[in-house]
Amino acid sequence: MSMEMQLMPSDPKGFMAGYLEALALVERLHRLLLDVIKDEFERVGVLEINAVQALLLFNIGDNEVTAGELKSRGYYQGSNVSYNLKKLVEMGYMHHQRCEIDRRSVRVRLTEKGRNIRDVVSGLFLRHAEGLEERGIIGPGGIEEITSSLKRVERYWTDQIRYIY
């Protein structure tokens, strides 16, 4: 019996099947989000940065952070945060400066060019939020329910990792 067959419950409507469907959906949504951001940047004629870099700029916002802080937030698994930060600095989207306290650490913040990209992503997300609500796809209560459920799964997974070590 294959591993996949062992994971699938005999009842296709069972909790395990729903859990696996939710996992696949989270993965697809993340990839789709990157595609949506990429399409928006193609639409507005910004072609030199990729969607992961645009999300980095959006999530940094008005803060000054280290690469380690970005990695620890876990937003960029599967991407090389240090490489993307270096490229964004080279292209003029971010300033970087050695930390006075820990000289090994580099702090980054957005330049005006970086803030412009952040604003494009912010505008995209605002249009999406308004569209979802206006079209009755999902309202504030639904968003709160989804967010609350995902936070509980995040806490559960985090606890599972802590118990391993």
Q: What pLDDT score does 1 carry? A: 43
Residue 159 corresponds to which tokens in the numbers above? 């606890």
Tell me if 66 sits within 8 A of 106, measured CB to CB: yes
Low-confidence ranges of the chain (pLDDT < 70): 1-12, 73-79, 103, 164-165
| Three-state secondary structure of 98-156 | ECCCCCCCEEEEECHHHHHHHHHHHHHHHHHHHHHHHCCCCCHHHHHHHHHHHHHHHHH
Amino acid occupying residue 156: Y
Q: What pLDDT score does 26 carry? A: 94
Instruction: Report how far residue 11's alpha carbon sits from residue 90's, in angstroms, rounded to the nearest whole number.
Output: 54
- Closest Cα to residue 56, out of 70, 38, 39? 70
Instruction: Report how far residue 74's alpha carbon sits from residue 72's, in angstroms, rounded to the nearest whole number.
Output: 5
What domains can you pick out in the chain, each with its CATH number?
Answer: 47-134 (1.10.10.10)
Residue 88 corresponds to which tokens in the numbers above? 């964004």
Q: What pLDDT score does 40 carry? A: 97
Q: What pLDDT score does 69 carry? A: 81
Tell me if 105 sits within 8 A of 77, measured CB to CB: no
